[in-house]
Structure 1
């Protein structure tokens, strides 16, 4: 080995270290990105399932409330014979029909949002015909003044 090669080796060592460091960092960044992507995808799937399940439970509870509401009013109105009550019964039966046609089993349906909107609109119409308020949050959440 001559002296010129020795000086070249010393002189170029900084470049070799920088190149090796670049390769190491690039490798770790690539692996970090891949690992982060995989973990993010897994966590996103879990969060999406929880979020979807909570919305599904809310919609199911909401539609069940409308069904119970409509069936109760149908029972209350069935023995009345005036024209106003016949119109009310017809609207209540229409609400029951919409609720019974609601597709619980097909959560991926694109018309699910349209169906629930139709049910909500019919519910508001029935409440208007019956002269009852459409806001039942106080009744659904329970009474905070009661203690047992």
Structure 2
């Protein structure tokens, strides 16, 4: 009969090591799955914000070109904002890139720094145009692909309707867009646009 007495003495350590190996492998699999889901969600939020900034800049560039306005400062801010957005990476680098490819590639891009520069340039453009900036990341109301849209009627009181017994929202609904009638509204003192 051949057995190792050392295995009997360290039986707890053996079970601990086996459990650690199994747990590590299991955690790695779930970590990859959760990491991909979180990356997809954050990537969606970032590109939603960048798309807003790019559309904003292109819209104002078209408006200024159509009006023939040649404000050099505004054009400069628009041009710099579009250049910064063009620098933002559009492809996720592969995790399988070899060390030789990494050595020949350009230095790693600082994405948070570039994002701060884009936001700052957007704020400068808004200040130059006399428009109040809306920070897309701060409101947190943007839907992501995995999350259902928020309920706009969550804060609305409901009333019972007598014939059917169902509920409906009272008329004090939260307005999404304010509709202005140019014939009755007083001008706000901002830039008036005509298309």
What is the TM-score when the length of structure 1 is the normalising length? Answer: 0.69
C-alpha distance in 2 between matches for 1:81 and 1:110: 35
1:36 paired with 2:35, answer no
Find the residue that maps to 1:81 and give its secondary structure.
coil
Deviation sequence 1:19-54 (CA, Å, 0-9, x none):
94x544333222111111111122122222211221
Separation in structure 1 between the aligned mates of residue 37 and residue 125 of structure 2, nearest angstrom? 33
Q: Residues 107 and 118 from structure 1, CA distance in 2 versus in 1: closer, same or farther, beyond 3 angstroms? A: farther
More displaced, 72-81 or 22-31?
22-31
The Cα shift of 1:111 comes to 2.1
Q: Are 1:145 and 2:145 counterparts?
A: no
Count of residues in Structure 1 that have an aligned counterpart in Structure 2: 125
The structure with the greater share of residues assigned to helix is 1
Instruction: Give 3-state SS (helix, strand or coil) of 1:133's partner.
Output: coil
In structure 2, the residue matched to 1:86 is 72
Q: Which runs of 5+ in 2 are unaligned?
A: 95-107, 143-151, 153-173, 177-195
* Partner Cα separation in structure 2 for residue 96 and residue 64 of structure 1: 11
Q: Give 1:118's aligned residue.
A: 117
Find the partner of 2:87 among 92, 101, 105: 101
Q: Distance in 1 between matches of 2:49 and 2:20?
A: 42
On the 8 A contact 1:67/1:99 being kept in 2, the answer is yes
Tell me what 1:77 maps to: 64
Structure-1 separation of matches of 2:134 and 2:110: 25
Structure 1: unaligned runs, 5 residues or longer? 1-15
Map 1:117-136 to 2 at 5 A: 117-135=116-134
